[in-house]
Amino acid sequence: MSCPDKSLQVLPFSGDAAAWNRIVASLPGTAPEQSWEWAAAGEEFGWQTERLLFQREGQVLGAASVQLRKKWGQSTCLISRGPLLDYSNLETLLAVLSALKNYYRHAIFIKINPRIEASPEILDAFNASSYTPSPDLDLYKETLEIDLAKSEEELYRKMRAQFRNGINTERKRIEVRSCTASEFLPDFKTLHRRLCAEKHLSGVPLNYFERFAKHLEPAGILLMRGAFQDGILRSGILLLKWHSSLLFKWGATDRSPGTSAYASQVLHWDTMLWAKSAGLRYYDLGGFDEQHSPGVAQFKRGFGGTLKKFVGEFDSVNKPMIYSFYRMLH
């Protein structure tokens, strides 16, 4: 399909999952949310997927896994952690942003939230292409990232002293292991429901985690690890393994009287060492928000990661009146 930059081609992808994931993994800002399997899981919740390549003179410059939701003859577009391309190449960035807006010109809006750090030049390119900061955030703008290239001693010393002491005290009575979805999810869901009730959070749809596991676990993208005390799951985490990183996605911990107060710390520490031994470079603590989740932010700071700030979420609105109504409903 043509776009204002006549040299840039927008081509629907026609290959298989392995080919798509190879392309996605090779591009700057790569993220598991742009994988084939993530989109397949989204389809379980009613999304439709379109995969696009951006090419110039036969060279792939970018890619986007676009999730569409259609209702009442209208559609919305979400490009979770994309589009993927070299954002430092402003010519290509402007061309891709324009191409997306043209390709989905009949949609109410297009939401993008790439995993790239902000710069004045990138923000200017978004503004020039009519992509404005989204008032509704789907994904975090900041995270804490732990560099696993450091030695085990360095990683240990980076942690808060309280965490180190708690881990030393509790690790002998806590068993940490990787689990399959069938053995992990029933007990994890119980912990997660309890957590949501305690913090007055909205729950997740029926079989939410099972639907992600169905597609992501066989591909080796979704991993599940648990901390067990006396054979009972006391803390559990779901992680996304992608490229050189391990991303903490969901977690829940038992706070009942008599359970280990440091099960979660032991679990994360053991998982960091596991990821390091597996040759991964980064452990991403999956978001950091001191304003809205100060307690969680304080907990994550205890592991000594480096703060990374992303550019954020942007909407390109094609139908302003319907967009305003859509936001009122959501």
Cis bond before residue 83 (omega within 30° of 0): yes
Confidence of residue 60 (pLDDT cuts 50, 70, 90): very high
pLDDT digits 0-9 by tens, 177-203: 999 999 999 999 999 999 888 887 877
Q: Are 43 and 70 in contact (CB under 8 A)?
A: no
Of 257 and 94, more confident = 94
* Average pLDDT of span 141-152: 96
Q: What is the pLDDT of residue 3?
A: 46
Picking from 59-63, 82-86, 279-283, 319-323, which range would have the lowest pLDDT averaged per residue? 319-323
pLDDT digits 0-9 by tens, 266-316: 999 999 999 999 999 999 999 999 988 899 999 999 999 999 999 999 999
For the chain, the domains span 8-140+311-329, 142-309
Confidence of residue 157 (pLDDT cuts 50, 70, 90): very high
Q: What is the pLDDT of residue 330?
A: 67
Domains 8-140+311-329 and 142-309 fall in the same CATH topology: yes
Is residue 87's pLDDT more than 90?
Answer: yes
* Average pLDDT of span 251-274: 94
* Average pLDDT of span 82-103: 97
pTM of the predicted model over 0.85: yes
* Average pLDDT of span 162-172: 95
Is residue 4's pLDDT more than 70?
Answer: no
What is the 3 state secondary structure string of 257-315?
CCCCCCHHHHHHHHHHHHHHHCCCCEEECCCCCCCCCHHHHHHHHCCCCEEEECCCCEE
Question: Are β-strands 109-112 and 74-79 bridged in parallel, bridged antiparallel, or unpaired?
Answer: parallel
* Nearest CA among 166, 191, 193, 169 for reference residue 255: 191
* Average pLDDT of span 151-172: 96
Is residue 21's pLDDT more than 60?
Answer: yes
User: Which run of H or of E encompasses 225?
Assistant: strand 222-229
Specify the CATH superfamily of domain 142-309. Gcn5-related N-acetyltransferase (GNAT) (3.40.630.30)
Q: What is the pLDDT of residue 2?
A: 37
* Average pLDDT of span 31-35: 98
8-140+311-329 folds as Aminopeptidase (3.40.630)
Number of helices and strands (H, E) in the chain?
11, 15
Residue keyed to tokens 């985690």 = 209
Share of the chain above pLDDT 90, in %: 84
